[in-house]
Structure 1
Amino acid sequence: MTGVAAEEPKLPPAWTVSTPPRWLPRSLLYTALAIAGLIAAFWILGKLAGLLTVLLVSIFLAFAIEPAVNWLARHGIKRGLGTGIVFLVLLAVVAAFVITLGALLVNQVSTLVNNAPQYVESLVHWINDTFGTDMSGKDLTKYATDWSSTIEGYLVGLAGNVWGIGATAIGAIFQLLGVLLFTFYFAADGPRFRTWVCSFLPPARQKHVLRAWDIAVEKTGGYIYSRGLLALFSAIAHYIALRIFDVPSAFALALWVGVVSQFIPTVGTYLAGALPVLVALVNDPISALWVLLFILAYQQFENYVLQPRVTAHTLAMHPAVAFGAVIAGAALLGPTGALLAIPVTATVQGFSAAYVRRYDVEPDHDEPRK
């Protein structure tokens, strides 16, 4: 009798070691190199942040003065000499502005010191009448002495850090000199610099870069021109008002309001208006109230009547877009970004208007007419 052979038990499959694909080590190496490159790039950018900021501000200033340099070049003046002339004019304007404000500061401090006893007596009478106290000028002098000792302690601590403050001031001076030097080179050698940049690009892209460059120069120059014109109108209007309200140093205060309100984004209006109100308050509180009302009224007139007419042909930017651009620029680069935000946004807007096709919006016929 033939028996049926028993089936042999099945063994579990042996563990097999598979070799990795050939592309995996190379991919891991490339990934590691990319991560190392990004880390090195961010480290380099962090170290060169100051230099990049100087270059960015220099390019902005070079774009701002290039229309004037081009105008002088068209009239037979070499670009280097023309750039030097523009620099001298701007430095003279800045020096006159600083000297005028310095004279204003000296006059107001002298007035405050000379009238200090009267201010103390007036303040004492106001405190007694308002709060029902019986304070005398001696009490206020005692409080002022206590406060002065506290302030003296802060000043002593500040004097201990004079080396750090001096180093910061020297660094700021070197940055300013760097900005002026780069601005001069960018403006004087503008055409050659533009040609050098475009030489790295194929001919098909060179015309787009040149187009963007021209738009940037046009919008930046238009921004400076419109701000300067608005500053002139503001200074004239505030000078007339301050003379009417008999506020001292009317010319210096009007110059301060015109320049600061136009060239410091967002907060410039408040900084500009605070100083005339304070000066008027030191001399006459009623005049300070009238000055404040005039500043508020003129700001509305400028925002809704004057500024749209002046900037219509230079920037053509909606106020909401400009405000958002200033906030974004301040978030990215601080005060420098806030200053450069509007001309950069105007450049992008002008470039997109030149290359992006736009269509008219047809009215909805189903919508009832008003």
Structure 2
Amino acid sequence: MTTPAPKRAAADTAATSGAVRESMPPWLPKAVALVLCAVAALVAGWWLFVQLQGLLVLILVSLFLALALEPAVNWLHQHGVPRGPATAALMLGGTAATLAFFSILGSMLVGQVLALVGELPEMTGAVLNWINSTFRTRISPTGLLTEVSSASGLIQSYANSVLENVWGAGTTLLIGLFNGLTIALFTFYLCADGPRFRRTICSVLPPRTQAEVLRAWEIAIRKTGGFIYSRALLATACTAAHYVVLILLDIDYAFALALWIGVLSQFIPTVGTYIGGALPVLVALLQGPWPTLWILLFITVYQQFENYLLQPRITALTLDMHPAVAFGSVIAGAAILGPPGALLALPAGASMQAFASSYIRRYEVTEHPLVSPEAEAPADDAPPEDPPEPSSPDTAEPGAAPPAGPGARAAGDPEPAGDGA
């Protein structure tokens, strides 16, 4: 009796699905589910990172400041001061120094602007006289004033646009103030409760990993604190030296200009001296060419003195980085995180360099002129000649003695005894 066609088709379908099910590996559904969960977790993590990027940058800056304050807080704590008051005193001192720095520079800027406004009529008259005498024109100050007055509508519209942006500027100021208070709060807790914070982190790690984490933390504290304190010492020396020279040259706002060049020259590597020295040169230019020339010469000479004598001795044990590497690190940090990245680049790079050097095995380098800058060059630049190869009897010159081999005898030696053949 034959099976009906519908029942036979259903049986074939069931047999085929059973074969497919038997051929599929049992781990494949679980693997697909794990891959989908991993992709979803990565997408959620990236979205969360984008949303919290501002907060993460604030925490990173706070961690850097806490590492910088840690050596001084530890020193005060060893001398009987609790960690909380020690951290608060150091943070208040740093805030006061920062506000004093910007207030001094602000007073200098306001003074320069007021002086420029007071000298503007005389400077305008001198410029107009030079233009009239050079180009044979007849521009009068009164006509120029009329032209400027006719542009008052444009100036008024610009002033109105500035007033409209006051609300945006105020909002930006409030956001900056809130970020500063957030950084101060995180810095205080990370530094004052540093031992407890590190104990909490190490409590979830195995013992060997705890040792590595604490070692990395210690290196970061030493390098970051050394960076801040060595730069502060170099900035003090640079400020004092330039202040003396500016006083001798009788340049206005000597202390503000010296402080400006001292801070910028130390916290912006390689080119900070020249960027900071541009402002004293411009101020000296208003007083004549000779003060400008002398201050420019002193800035150049002091930069060389600092690079080759002062800085290597101060930063030998704190931040041993090549200037080119330091400059590249600052550019990379600024490209990644902006101004906070430029500030964090040097101590972060020095910490990673010190931590990696603990695990890199080094070997003794073979002496060679290419690796010994102080070694004298050989007298003859030509490469040494290879020793001459021994000539075969067929190519030897006529009358030349055959080469001495293992069985050769010298001239005058008796012949060896034969075999008796």
Q: Same fold (TM over 0.5)?
A: yes
In structure 2, the CA distance between the partners of 1:43 and 1:151, relative to structure 1 (3 Å rule), is farther
Runs of 4+ in structure 1 off by over 6 angstroms are 14-17, 365-368
1:357 aligns with 2:373: no
Which whole-Å CA distance do the structure 2 matches of 1:366 and 1:297 have between them? 31
Q: Does the 8 Å contact 2:330/2:345 carry over to 1?
A: yes
Q: Does the 8 Å contact 1:329/1:340 carry over to 2?
A: yes
How far off is 1:269 after superposition? 3.5
Which whole-Å CA distance do the structure 2 matches of 1:246 and 1:362 have between them? 56
- Provide the identity percentage: 52
In structure 2, the CA distance between the partners of 1:218 and 1:137, relative to structure 1 (3 Å rule), is same
Which residue of 2 is the match for residue 216 of structure 1?
A: 220
Match of 1:281 among 282, 285, 301: 285
Which structure has more relative contact order (CA 8 Å, sep 6+)? It is 1
Which whole-Å CA distance do the structure 2 matches of 1:291 and 1:143 have between them? 40
- Partner AA of 2:276 in structure 1: A
Post-superposition CA distance 1:118-152 (Å, at most 9, x none)? 22123334444565654443455456556775454
How far off is 1:325 after superposition? 1.1
Which residue of 1 is the match for residue 89 of structure 2?
A: 85
1:300 aligns with 2:304: yes
Which residue of 1 is the match for residue 405 of structure 2?
A: none
Q: Does the 8 Å contact 1:265/1:339 carry over to 2?
A: no
In structure 2, the CA distance between the partners of 1:163 and 1:290, relative to structure 1 (3 Å rule), is same
Which is worse superposed, 244-253 or 154-163?
Answer: 154-163
How far off is 1:360 after superposition? 2.0
In structure 2, the CA distance between the partners of 1:154 and 1:27, relative to structure 1 (3 Å rule), is farther
Gaps of 5+ in 2: 1-11, 378-421
How far off is 1:179 after superposition? 0.5
1:35 aligns with 2:33: no
Number of aligned residue pairs: give it: 357
Match of 2:119 among 107, 115, 128: 115
Secondary structure of residue in 1 paired with 2:356: helix
| Greater Rg over alpha carbons, structure | 2
Q: Does the 8 Å contact 1:58/1:179 carry over to 2?
A: yes
How far off is 1:303 after superposition? 2.8
Which whole-Å CA distance do the structure 1 matches of 2:317 and 2:76 have between them? 23
In structure 2, the CA distance between the partners of 1:227 and 1:129, relative to structure 1 (3 Å rule), is farther
Secondary structure of residue in 1 paired with 2:358: helix
How far off is 1:33 after superposition? 2.0
Which whole-Å CA distance do the structure 2 matches of 1:65 and 1:365 have between them? 45
| Larger proportion of helix | 1
Which is worse superposed, 299-308 or 48-57?
Answer: 299-308
Which is worse superposed, 343-352 or 272-281?
Answer: 272-281
Compute the TM-score of the two structures, normalised by the length of structure 1: 0.87
Which residue of 2 is the match for residue 230 of structure 1?
A: 234
Which residue of 2 is the match for residue 167 of structure 1?
A: 171
Post-superposition CA distance 1:67-110 (Å, at most 9, x none)? 11111001011111111111222122223222222321232222
Q: Does the 8 Å contact 2:333/2:345 carry over to 1?
A: yes
Compute the TM-score of the two structures, normalised by the length of structure 2: 0.77
Which residue of 2 is the match for residue 176 of structure 1?
A: 180
In structure 2, the CA distance between the partners of 1:152 and 1:262, relative to structure 1 (3 Å rule), is farther
How far off is 1:169 after superposition? 1.4
Which whole-Å CA distance do the structure 1 matches of 2:370 and 2:346 have between them? 39
Matches of residues 122-271 of structure 1 in structure 2 within 5 Å? 122-128=126-132, 133-138=137-142, 140-141=144-145, 145=149, 150-264=154-268, 268-271=272-275
Which residue of 1 is the match for residue 28 of structure 2?
A: 24
Which whole-Å CA distance do the structure 2 matches of 1:346 and 1:38 have between them? 31
Which whole-Å CA distance do the structure 2 matches of 1:354 and 1:366 have between them? 26
Q: Does the 8 Å contact 1:329/1:338 carry over to 2?
A: yes
Which is worse superposed, 191-200 or 290-299?
Answer: 290-299
Which whole-Å CA distance do the structure 1 matches of 2:143 and 2:285 have between them? 24
How far off is 1:292 after superposition? 3.0
